[in-house]
Amino acid sequence: MTYFVTACAHMHRNLFQRRETAELMVATIFRYRGAGEFQVHEYVVMPNHIHLLVTPRDGSSIARAMQLIKGGFSHELRQSGSRLTAVWQQRFQERRVRDSEDFANFARYVRENPVRKGLARVASDYPYSSAAAAVPLDEYPGLKPLTYKRAVDADLKVGSTFVS
């Protein structure tokens, strides 16, 4: 079964606005996908939330897939020196994909989200998305450990991210 999922940062903080944090989120998704925990059809890491179009492996659930993603990311973020105590909203929202039309609509929504929010002119320009040509679904470059000077660095404003 395939799901469209949205998970928000705690208190809708702009947690993923920093390049390093967004890359860590993408790397976390790919780590568990690479381990065979789920298939990722589409993804986008927005400044304060993520969207996924994902199919859990046989015998697993969407709850388990999201536990791995959210928990894995939180663990890695803390390992990098972040002092945030709450990373995610407690729950996530999921909608089951009923048919190919649903799938196409959700995929389009995920890919176009950065354009709708003014973060990119075209979907493929947004680097933290399956729409980006620079980040193919089959591989993702290794990442260096993060260093955080202050926990408040993630609370920057969304409007400052777009460069024309």
Is the per-residue pLDDT at 157 higher than 60?
no
**What mean pLDDT value characterizes the chain?**
80
Give per-residue pLDDT as tens, 4-52. Answer: 999 999 999 898 998 999 999 999 999 999 999 999 999 999 999 999 9
Domain 3-161 bears CATH identifier 3.30.70.1290: yes
Lowest mean pLDDT among 21-35, 65-79, 84-98, 122-136: 122-136
Lowest mean pLDDT among 72-76, 102-106, 134-138: 134-138
Give per-residue pLDDT as tens, 93-122. Answer: 999 999 989 999 999 999 999 999 999 999
Percent of the chain exceeding pLDDT 70 equals 80
* Count of beta carbons in the 10 Å neighbourhood of residue 85: 8
| More confident site: 15 or 161 | 15
Is the per-residue pLDDT at 138 higher than 60?
no
Confidence at residue 83, expressed as pLDDT on a 0 to 100 scale: 74
Question: pLDDT category, 86, cuts 50, 70, 90?
Answer: confident
DSSP for 132-155, written as a single string: -TTS-TT-----PPP--S-GGGGG
Average pLDDT over residues 66-76: 93
Is the per-residue pLDDT at 137 higher than 70?
no
Question: pLDDT category, 3, cuts 50, 70, 90?
Answer: very high
Cα separation, 46 vs 104, whole angstroms: 20
Q: Check if the beta carbon of residue 24 is closer than 8 Å to that of residue 76.
A: yes
* Domain range list for the chain: 3-161
Q: Which two tokens stand for residue 145?
A: 């450990």
Confidence at residue 63, expressed as pLDDT on a 0 to 100 scale: 95
